[in-house]
Amino acid sequence: MTERQSTTTAGDTADVVILGAGPAGLLLGNLLQRGGVDCVVLERGTREHIQTRARAGFLAAHTVRILQRHGLADGLNRDGQDHSTCEFRSDDGRFRLDYSRLGQGERHTVYPQQALVSDLLAHYTDAGGRIRFTTDALDVRDTGTDRPTVTVRTADGRPGHWRARYVAGCDGRHGAARRSLPAHTVRHHLDHGVSWLGLLADAPPSLDAVGYGVHSRGFAGHMARTSTVTRYYLQCARDTRTDDWPDDRIWAELALRLRADAYGPLHQGRIGQRGVVHLESDVIEPLRHGSLFLAGDAASLISPSAAKGANLAVLEAELLAEALLDDLAHGDPAGLDTYSARCLDHIWRAQEFSHWMIGLLHGSPGTDGEARFRDSLRRSRISALRDSRAQQDWFAEHYVGVGALRAA
């Protein structure tokens, strides 16, 4: 594998400068390069960092179809695992939903995001794609013109800039794209008041389903990643420090909330990664500002409760690639003009389902009347999901992403 790295930092140009080498940025780079568009990816991290960063792992059916359509699914076709069942455990017992038999009959593919990133990176660089690692984009200027400029700083501290026709901001909520938005940009933000301790255990999955433990002490989640690694979540206090949770305490709390005494023990192993996640949602409107476009987490942040983040990123990258190719190769700007509205429709549908899931899985702190009311609502939601076929079909369609993320 070759990797083209520039030896200069000033006066560099490309038709499209892509900020960020996550799923959105790398998919966009692959599609533009194949379409003959001169592009470059600027990534603040190292190659090793982006290829080992453990993030999402559930790919919706529409995401798999996009990757297969463009010949980028060799890794997930070989190593991805079909997944179609979730199990809910609460004070009222447990029940399972095989969502591949409900709704539109779709399922997930379990494939770690770092593996997907590695696949996309290999396709891009093997075909000669330009990428600059350890290059920190500082800001995007002149977005109201047809020659925007990205100011950068390399790992050795040298300043530089890239000029482009368009800039695609795929660099997350704290990246240069968001920092460069005009003051009149609308930022919708919601803090759900819930925090999770996210855990990656060197242990095989303990059940053949996504496990949702709804407990008075807080939510617990079980999500397979590979045959030897499992992702767990524990609802925790907002001020939690990871060193407050040694392995023994983690396994004891997981066993309690997932009711291992009633439904079987958990496979235990070393906790290799732990971090506190605050469940927040935000959306930027619009997603286009002149020659600057947003995709992935730069466009919207969604809570991990419904596994929509990476799937939204892939959908947005494909829509943006098609629109840029139409404009740059054929002089047709219609796709760029409608890009923001099309993506925001998908984003808000996904946000609504994510918000519903948060209400389904989490109780309210305290014992006052409002907390008891919310907990009763949660219990009613779980009961309806267990007993109502109509509710199950609705859940399946949105959970897999067909309803919330139907391709435009």
| Residues acting as catalytic residues | 83, 212, 304, 308, 399
Q: Are the C-beta atoms of 233 and 198 separated by less than 8 Å? A: yes
85 burial class (0-12, 13-18, 19+ CB within 10 angstroms)?
A: middle
Residue 320 identity: L
Which strands make up the sheet holding 58-59, listed edge to edge?
58-59, 108-110, 81-83
Of 31, 128, 37, nearest to 70 by C-alpha is 31
Alpha helix ranges (H) inside 258-368:
260-263, 309-330, 334-361
Beta pairing partners, 42: 19, 132
Q: Which helix (H) or strand (E) holds 140?
A: strand 135-141
Of 170, 71, 82, 83, nearest to 119 by C-alpha is 71
Q: What is the DSSP string of 37-101?
A: --EEEE-SS-HHHHHH-----EE-HHHHHHHHHTT--HHHHHH-EEE-EEEEEETTEEEEEEGGG
Of 38, 19, 24, 5, nearest to 300 by C-alpha is 24
Q: 297-333 in b/e burial notation, b at 16+ Cβ within 10 A? A: bbbbbbbbbbbbbbbbbbbbbbbbbebbbbbbeeeee
Of 249, 194, 193, 250, nearest to 222 by C-alpha is 250
How far apart (Å, rounded) are the C-alpha atoms in residues 304 and 22? 17
How far apart (Å, rounded) are the C-alpha atoms in residues 203 and 211? 15
